[in-house]
Each structure stands twice: as structure tokens, then as C-alpha cells.
Amino acid sequence: MRICSRCVLPASFPGIRFDDNGVCNFCRTSATFQTRESRRAELQAKFARVVESARTASSYHCLVAWSGGKDSTYTLAVLKEEFELRVLAYTFDNGFVSPAAWRNMQAVSSNLNVDQVVVRPRFDFLRQVFRDSVSSVQYARKALSRTSAICNSCMGLAKFAGLRIAIEQDIPMVAFGWSPGQLPLSASIYRPRPAMAKAMMGATVGPLQRAGIGDASTYFLQDRHFAAAQHFPWEVSPLAFLDYHQDEIFRRIERLGWSKPSDTGPNSTNCLLNSLGILVHQTQTGFHPYASELATLVREGKISRDEALRRMETPENPDTVRLAMERLGLASLDFSSAQLGSPGQKGSRGL
Amino acid sequence: MTTVEKQIRRFLVENFLYDGQEDDLAADASFLEGGIIDSTGVLELELFLEETFGIEVADEDVLPENFDSIRRLVEYTTRKLQLAAENGGSWKADSMSQASELLKEVVVWEPTGQ
């Protein structure tokens, strides 16, 4: 399959077009380096102001969504050590957090001296959400261009469960460890008004409810949360506008006791469900759910094109996929056997 | 159809729907309820309005009544353009001439002091 000669987006990516040089329209219309740097500088200044206002909170300054993965661990470290914020680390246990990730969180929370709270919905609910995300939950096409349906469901639940904690405990800021490629700069610092937050939440909970997951609303914000407008926190994704260098990230978090898990797939450092989500997405859409993120990282010079292609081509660990399928009660799925490779097997460039 | 509406429709098709014609979108269809955009897309819309029309979108303006359908977006953008024309402010310098042209489609407006 044809792939952009500059980034890694394939011909199957929604809305893509190639010019005579094989460069895709997303590359051609992306912001220039100067524009990006100018925006990043503005956001850094805005973040500094948000941080100063957050310091007036009497309890925690910031709730940090912490999956135990590389980027959220780095985010936690930066906010605690460089910005010297009083942080509450919040982990959403989706039932598939890898044992290695739990060990990492234990080591890092101890070495960083941070409080941690874990939200663990009951697994029968999570199983229904993830099973239905494979088959019947319908997200917007744009949402599926950013990540898989399974990840959309999980992230939606995790985000709003975190916002509940922040609103109920008057924590003025919620930080996420999204990489620079996972969300646009325009979404990296904002504080929604309750009415818009409710509408945004509807874009996540609506698909779950329409798929028949009746308990879904229990895990999201309720009317009483929206009524307290003054308690709505800032939502920030610092890695979108702070320096992002993979070597520095690993160096810093390894110093805190973090080590790269060997029990997850090639595209996750914390989640045992991720591989199944990737394979389902590839089968249903024809492109890798990380394509958009990786393409952005390539355009911004954060990783090489070769590295991005390697991440997309490395086959998912079949044991991780089978584990997830068993736990979700998925007896069989319509997967091509060629997509379940053995470790070290080089996958095809096409999908 | 005004240029403002045409540009908004084109942006939606190219960045969120990926196929279909710009005219296919119903003017009053809710973006979020209809699965046309996702929640992050609201913030991309905000940036699009600022960069395309040179208006400043205040945080308190990002509400469903301003952002959650084509009609509402067009009306909001037009109001902002008109306000800027009346007050002579909040325009990025390089978009003033474009904004002037856009407003001529909506109201009879005579620029002053330029």
C-alpha cells in the first residue's frame, strides 16, 4: 500500500491525498516549524500562568492521569520535580494494566514521593465496554483516525473518572501524558465551560449508551458536577508544548525506577489490551491506529520515519492478544493470520 | 451561501468527514451528538476560526450554542466579525482585508479609518 513519502500515513488513511512527489495533504498543510514553535512558546507562557493559579489550591495543585506508561510517567516527574506541584497521581485500572506497569508505578511513586489513587471499575462492566467497542460502539470518524475504538472507550472512561475526582476534590488542574502526536496543540491547554464539557462528554458516553451499555453514565460526570462551574479544572497536556526527546524521557524515568516492560505489545508500555485494539482497528479501517500520532511525531522531528514505520510494522505479540481475547470472552475474530506474527518477525509494509 | 459558511463546510469535510460533499451537511445537525466531530475537534474548530477569519475566540465563547452546528458556527463567526468591525479590534492584521470582504457579504458595511 502506498505510504506518504514524508510521514507514514498510508493510502487507507481517511481523507488522504498524495501529490506528484508522494507527499500527503496532511504534510503539505501542516504548520511550519516557525509557526509550531511560536505556538509552543505561547502555550508555555499560558501554562506558566495556569500553574501559578493552581498553586493557590489548598489541597493538590494537579491531578495527573498516570497509566504507568512512558509518557505519563515522564509527565508526572516533570510536574512534580520541575514545576514543584503538589500532585495526586490517578490511575484508571481498565483490567489490563500489565504487572510490569504496576511494578513501575510502585517504584516511581515511592521514589517521587507522590500520592496515588486508583479507580477500578468492576470488570463485568469493562468487559462489556471493550467487547462492544470491537463490534457495536460507533465513534466519530475523526475519533477513529486518532486511536482505536477500544482506546477511545477506555480513554473516555479514564478521563471523566479523573475529572470527577478533580471536581469533587477541588483540584484546579488535570494533566494528561499525551505525546505531541496524540492531540493537536490547540487542545493542549483549555478549561471547558460546563455546557461545552457536557456536550463533549456526550460524544463519548453517547456511543456507549447507543450500543446498549446502560451503566456507562455512572462513570461519567453527573448534573451536580456541571452545576459547580467554578470547580471545573484546567485540562493540560504538557508534552504537547514542552520539550519532548525520547532519550531524555527514558533517562529520567529510569532514574526513578521505571523499566521498559516486556509483557506489553510493541506500541504500549503499560497496557495488555492495546495489541488487540490495534489489530481490531487495522482489520476494520485498514490503517494502524497509531498512524496519525506517529506521522505527527515524524513531521515534528521527534522520531525518524524509519522508527515510525518500524513501530507500525512490528507484529503485535500473539500471546498478549490471546490473553485479551480470553479475558473479554472473544472466542474468535476475523483476523488474518498474517497479522499475528511471532516476536521478531518483520511484518509487511502494507495492511 | 456565504463565504464563511462555504469555508466552514469545506473545513468540516476535509478534516472530519473525509468524504461526501460540503452541501450534504445539514445546517442544524449537532456536530457532537451526530458523531460529526469528536470532543478534541471542538478545539480544532476554535483554532480554525481564529486562523481563517482572524477573530479571537474567547474561552467563554466555546459553547454548544456557538459551536455545535454549521448554523451556529456561521452565526457566531459573523457576530465576531461584525463586533470587530464596530470596535476596530481583535483582528489579526494580516486578516483584516479578508474579514472586510467576508462582512460585505453579510451586511452593508463601510470600513472607516483604514
pLDDT in tens, A225-284: 999 877 789 999 999 999 999 999 999 999 999 999 998 988 899 999 999 999 999 989
For residue A240, tell me if it sits in a domain. yes
The count of CB pairs under 8 A between chains A and B is: 81
Cβ of B44 under 8 Å from any chain A Cβ? Answer: yes
Q: Give the number of domains in chain A.
A: 1
Closest chain A C-alpha to B113 CA, distance in angstroms: 30
Find chain A residues with C-beta within 8 A of B41's C-beta: 140, 142
- Answer yes or no: is A198 within a domain: yes
Predicted local distance difference test score (pLDDT) of residue A228: 81
A24-66 tens-digit pLDDT = 999 999 988 899 999 999 999 999 999 999 999 989 999 999 9
Per-residue confidence band for A339, with pLDDT thresholds at 50, 70 and 90:
very low
Q: How many whole angstroms separate alpha carbon A239 and alpha carbon A341?
A: 32
pLDDT of B45: 94
Reduced 3-state DSSP string for A164-187: HHHHHCCCCEEECCCCCCCCCHHH
Please give the average per-residue pLDDT across B83-97, as a whole number.
64
Q: Which residues of B touch A141 (CB under 8 A)?
A: 16-18, 35
B67 part of contact set with chain A, CB < 8 Å: yes
Domain range spanning residue A243? 33-274
Residue range B29-39: mean pLDDT, rounded: 91
The CATH number assigned to the domain holding A53 equals 3.40.50.620
Nearest Cβ partner of B62 from A192, A203, A204? A192
Model pTM?
Answer: 0.90
Q: Is residue A237 part of a domain?
A: yes
Tell me what the mean pLDDT of segment A202-211 comes to: 90
pLDDT given at position A266: 87
B92, pLDDT greater than 60: no
Q: Which helix (H) or strand (E) segment is A28 a member of? A: helix A25-28
CB neighbours of residue A284 within 10 Å = 14
Q: What is the mean pLDDT of chain B?
A: 82
> Is B33 in CB contact (< 8 Å) with chain A?
yes
Task: Report the C-alpha gap between A158 and A112 in whole angstroms.
Answer: 23
Given A141, A186, A203, which is nearest B17 (Cβ)?
Answer: A141
The verdict on residue A111 lying in a domain is: yes
Measured CA to CA, the distance from residue B53 to residue B98 in angstroms comes to 7
Phi, psi of A148 (to 5 degrees): -70, 165
pLDDT at residue B110 greater than cutoff 70: no
The verdict on residue A347 lying in a domain is no
- Amino acid present at B17: L
Mutate to test the interface with A, among B10, B30, B32, B63 (most CBs of A within 10 A): B32
Instruction: Please report whether residue A231 resides in a domain.
Output: yes
Question: Bridge-partner residues for A63, per DSSP?
Answer: A88, A174
Chain A residues close to B20, C-beta within 8 Å: none
A319 lies in a domain? Answer: no
pLDDT digit string (tens) for A11-29?
999 999 999 999 999 999 9
Residue B37 sits at the chain A interface (C-beta within 8 Å): yes
